């Protein structure tokens, strides 16, 4: 596939969603009090000092890093899973460092050899990169939250995401266990995006890595995690995947040839951040306050909030097409993400991030009132 042949890889993908709200962003920015951007869930609070110190201490790193990630970092992942979620049965050879979670998701179908004729399951209302991963490989994506929807087709890979982006739904172990069983019965690889696992507001966090979910075996399972949100390290591009040892080994073999290497100073910062719980607990408190006041303001302005038990977003609706809601908010200097970014089922919702500063959240609350 080449430009010379009149075909471009970019033709595989839809228009970049954020480009479609440029006019609304400009309109919101004209508000006398300035723009309140609640459209992208980008962290704005300081990166923890423990991570910054570790990054600086490892700055003299003249040699190439490893593709797998250094052993101490992978050990920190194993310890974090046990300490925070009581997950046991994971070894360092079940862990692979990645250059952010989006990179891994987008490349995963290609790197695992999927292609035309293969079926990939993605959530019905979902982060767009799952569909991009399937499209990049030339595979067929089926958007569904029901295992029945696959019919006689046998998917090669199924993405799930809880706590979910955009709508924040949280599910329990029984729900995850049903997906594990389905994928094992059909021979599909189950890929669980768990980047928001430390931000569950209602209910309990549950992971496919939990032996109560997977029966004590990681066969056919991958879980994706990131430090972007938990540690305000989105700019570091640091994440990891945990799961089936044979799949991790295959990804390692492929990624060695492609040069996907996490920089050594970033790995050191990750290791330090994973070992420190205090900064995450502090950040949870910040987000909990912002979530509470923003939710109250949206409901007071006539919005209904659906799901939103976890993640860093409120899934809000005024019972009208989402683009109309985007314009209503833009008139008040507020920018949100239209729900149709995430599939047709989101056409009457907007995703409102509460990752802005306290000052900007307060401005949004005032304008909604």
Q: What is the mean pLDDT of residues 215-236?
A: 97
> Could you tell me if 123 and 179 are in contact, meaning their C-beta atoms sit under 8 angstroms apart?
no
Strand order of the β-sheet with 304-306 is: 304-306, 313-317, 350-353, 337-338
Domain coverage including residue 349: 9-46+279-368
The answer to whether position 92 is within a domain reads yes
User: Does one domain contain both 263 and 294?
Assistant: no
Quick one: pLDDT band at residue 18, thresholds 50, 70, 90?
A: confident
User: Does one domain contain both 78 and 202?
Assistant: yes
Q: Is pLDDT at 220 greater than 70 in this prediction? A: yes
pLDDT of residue 3: 44
The answer to whether position 194 is within a domain reads yes
User: Does one domain contain both 206 and 305?
Assistant: no
The answer to whether position 2 is within a domain reads no
User: Does one domain contain both 31 and 106?
Assistant: no
User: Does one domain contain both 157 and 267?
Assistant: yes
CA distance 184 to 73: 30
* Pair of tokens at residue 123: 């959530």
User: Does one domain contain both 247 and 100?
Assistant: yes
CA distance 170 to 162: 6
Domain boundary among 275, 292, 317: 275
User: Does one domain contain both 316 and 244?
Assistant: no
User: Does one domain contain both 83 and 198?
Assistant: yes
The answer to whether position 299 is within a domain reads yes
User: Does one domain contain both 76 and 214?
Assistant: yes
pLDDT of residue 5: 57
User: Does one domain contain both 113 and 249?
Assistant: yes
The answer to whether position 4 is within a domain reads no
Domain boundary among 230, 250, 275: 275
User: Does one domain contain both 337 and 197?
Assistant: no
The answer to whether position 3 is within a domain reads no
| pLDDT higher at 147 or 189 | 189
pLDDT of residue 264: 98
CATH number at residue 250: 3.40.640.10
- DSSP class of 235: G
> Could you tell me if 239 and 226 are in contact, meaning their C-beta atoms sit under 8 angstroms apart?
yes
CA distance 355 to 287: 7
pLDDT of residue 13: 72
What is the three-class DSSP state of 259? coil
Q: In this predicted model, what pLDDT tens digit does every residue of 348-369 receive, in sequence order? A: 999 999 999 999 999 999 999 9
Quick one: pLDDT band at residue 8, thresholds 50, 70, 90?
A: confident
User: Does one domain contain both 91 and 23?
Assistant: no
Q: How many CA atoms lie within 13 A of 211 on its CB side?
A: 7
CATH number at residue 348: 3.90.1150.10
The answer to whether position 262 is within a domain reads yes
Radius of gyration of the chain from its Cα atoms, rounded to whole angstroms: 21
Domain boundary among 219, 249, 275: 275
The answer to whether position 322 is within a domain reads yes
Task: Please tell me the total count of domains within the chain.
Answer: 2
Q: What is the mean pLDDT of the chain?
A: 95
H-only helix segments in the chain: 22-29, 49-57, 71-85, 101-111, 129-137, 173-186, 211-214, 245-258, 264-274, 278-300, 322-330, 358-368
The beta-carbon contacts of 318-323 under 8 Å, at least 24 apart in sequence, are 319/348, 320/348, 321/347, 321/348, 322/346, 322/347, 322/348, 322/349, 322/350
> Could you tell me if 239 and 101 are in contact, meaning their C-beta atoms sit under 8 angstroms apart?
yes
Residue 83: Cβ within 10 Å count: 12
Element (H, E) at 340: none
Q: In this predicted model, what pLDDT tens digit does every residue of 78-101 receive, in sequence order? A: 999 999 999 999 999 999 999 999
Q: In this predicted model, what pLDDT tens digit does every residue of 287-319 receive, in sequence order? A: 999 999 999 999 999 999 999 999 999 999 999
Q: Is pLDDT at 38 greater than 60 in this prediction? A: yes
pLDDT of residue 1: 43
């Amino acid at each position: 596939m080449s430009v010379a042949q009149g075909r471009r890889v970019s033709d595989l993908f839809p228009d970049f969603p954020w480009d479609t709200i440029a006019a609304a962003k400009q309109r919101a920015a004209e508000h006398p009090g300035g723009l309140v951007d609640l459209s992208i869930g980008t962290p704005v609070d300081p990166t923890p000092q423990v991570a910054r110190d570790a990054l600086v201490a490892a700055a003299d790193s003249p040699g190439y890093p490893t593709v797998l990630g250094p052993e101490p970092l992978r050990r920190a992942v194993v310890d974090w899973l046990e300490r925070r979620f009581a997950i046991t049965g994971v070894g360092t050879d079940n862990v692979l460092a990645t250059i952010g979670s989006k990179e891994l998701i987008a490349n995963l179908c290609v790197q695992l050899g999927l292609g035309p004729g293969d079926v990939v399951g993605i959530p019905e209302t979902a982060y767009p990169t799952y569909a991009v991963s399937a499209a990049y490989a030339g595979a067929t994506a089926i958007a569904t939250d029901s295992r029945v929807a696959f019919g006689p087709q046998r998917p090669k890979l199924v993405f799930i995401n809880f706590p979910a982006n955009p709508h924040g739904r949280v599910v329990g172990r029984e729900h995850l266990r049903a997906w594990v069983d389905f994928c094992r019965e059909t021979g599909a690889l189950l890929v669980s995006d768990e980047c928001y696992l430390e931000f569950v507001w209602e209910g309990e966090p549950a992971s496919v890595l939990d032996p109560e979910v997977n029966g004590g075996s990681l066969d056919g399972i991958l879980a994706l995690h990131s430090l972007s949100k938990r540690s305000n390290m989105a700019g570091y591009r640091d994440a990891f995947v945990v799961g089936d040892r044979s799949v991790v080994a295959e990804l390692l073999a492929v990624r060695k040839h492609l040069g996907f290497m996490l920089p050594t100073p970033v790995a050191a910062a990750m290791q330090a951040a994973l070992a420190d719980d205090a900064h995450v607990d502090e950040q949870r408190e910040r987000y909990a306050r912002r979530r509470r006041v923003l939710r109250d303001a949206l409901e007071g302005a006539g919005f209904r909030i659906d799901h939103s038990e976890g993640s860093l977003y409120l899934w809000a609706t005024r019972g009208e097409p989402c683009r109309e809601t985007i314009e209503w908010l833009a008139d008040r200097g507020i920018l949100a993400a239209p729900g149709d970014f995430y599939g047709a089922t989101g056409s009457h919702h907007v995703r409102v991030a509460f990752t802005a500063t306290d000052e900007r959240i307060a401005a949004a609350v005032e304008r909604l009132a």
